[in-house]
Structure 1
Amino acid sequence: MTTTVQAEATTSAAGPAPITEPGIYDMDNDTYHSHRYALSSSGARKLLPPSCPAIFRYQQTQPQQPKKVWDIGNAAHKLVLGNGPALRIVDHERWDTKAAKAEVAEARAAGAIPLKAAEHQQVHDMADALRRHPFASLLFDPEHGTPEQSLFWRDDRTGVMRRARLDWLPNPRTGRLIIPDYKTCRSADPEKLAKDIDEYGYHQQDDTYRSAAKALGIADEDAAFVFVCQEKTAPYVITVVEVNATARRIGAARNRRALETFARCTATGYWPGYSDDVVPLSLPGWAETRDSLEYL
């Protein structure tokens, strides 16, 4: 297995020195995201429709602003994985007051996640529910793995450096290796999760993480990559899913297109929008059907 390397934290606006050697690096989340020259799974998804390279490139240059909608998921991650920012209760009935806003801003400035008292209890209940789950609890057993490990490797065909941040890196062992990724969701119903795979590009994430694990000698062809999906409302139901072979092939093909696009745009310095040509458009099918009966 590849040795884990302790990476230095970001010390300047320019970011840390580029990583050129493939490996497993132990670094904080901000430092990981500052390595923008290396293509991540979320970046690969942003390069392709329904997005485009111009949007990807713009977002690379903009600091990510915190959003309240992410706080529950991030807080649950911290409790499930045992690693991440501190949780801070902002104990105000209303968060639109000057005092509450000041406390929220102070918490975020300190790198903490501000939560209402009920939300703080909620994420602890979610973590407790996961620890009671017969399978998910084993996947995140603190005695058999390490949270938040950053993997860097080079794509053989394009020369692009790639990166992935595993929620959990299992310790080497005999038998089939299972690498889990924790997701919070509105519904853990398998039919709904199938739509989420398409909407959020989880099949591309699956291919990215499998590629990283194989490139660094962490896993072989038999390794499994699973999503542990937990609802954010009581009773915090959990479903563990593995993307099937067809979805993985599509995810791999999309990633290959993204890598080629990233390599080309990096080489030319040109990051196009949706199209450089005149685009012929028709009415939406439903509008065409509606109006053709009356007007044509």
Structure 2
Amino acid sequence: MFSAILSACGKEKTANSSGQKVLRIGYQKNCPLVILKERGTLEKALKKYGYKVKWIQFQAGPELLEALNAGSIDFGRTGDSPPIFAQASGSSLVYVAAGISKYKGSGILVKKNSGINKLSDLKGKKIGFAKGSSSHFLLIKALEKAGLSINDIKPAYLQPGDARAAFEKGAIDAWVVWDPYTADAQRLPNTKLLVNGAGLTSDRDFFVASSSFAHAHSDILKIVLNEVQQSSDWANHHHKETADMLSPLLGIDKQSLMIALNRRTYGVQKISNNIVKEQQDIANTFYKLKIIPKKVTIKNNIYNIYKGNGKDDRK
């Protein structure tokens, strides 16, 4: 059990002269850390170590990672693609844990009457997606499967809110996105999920920290990840309560959130060799297509705060 591994904390000293320490956590509204934040359990767990928690919200992963590199936050969570761009820009971030694959909630949405019934039908179509995101990679792999490339479609670089509006108005022919936006859009009239991420991408979260904080305070990170796992276990067994919690925060109705929750498992994993390979494949793909300016070696930024090689890779 992963949580059992997490329970053993290190022996490092985290005290400073002021006696009051602050753990600065970067989060996005739609991420596992929101559940942890709303439940308030981390504050209780860290109080006896003299820590208080400061939560800082970001609109997107790249902004969060810029703050991490600048020393404005200590720890955060992003999707799989932003850390690769950060590494390519010279960030010293370290990956400390991964989330469980959530490919079922990521996919390509089209209108039922669009005439797009298979991946090859995307040729020549205008497709909305967030540049440099997990959806960007999903689209690349989906096109490859159909014998196409990104040059065979008309890309529209749009964040989820703008893409949703464009999709509803018919300004784009297809929309590539992740849950709960996928689930919410699936409930629109005349909308269907062409494909999800099965066989194309793992689409997992990554928990990252500044290199300096990870090396100095691995004991605190173990406590944080243990609390993430505990809140994840709660969410996995309390879908209705989780939907009630997230709905007002995300502005998405509970029915859509229930669809998303029913096809996702929250949790924390050690970063195995398989997970490193998954992430390296994304980095290699982005470099090959000149989306990032230089090669990135994922393993150079892995910080294993646990004993052993971290071969747990449960789905």
The normalised TM-score by structure 1 is: 0.25
Return the index of the structure with the highest Cα Rg.
Answer: 1
Q: Which has the higher contact order (CA 8 A, sep 6+)?
A: 2
The normalised TM-score by structure 2 is: 0.24
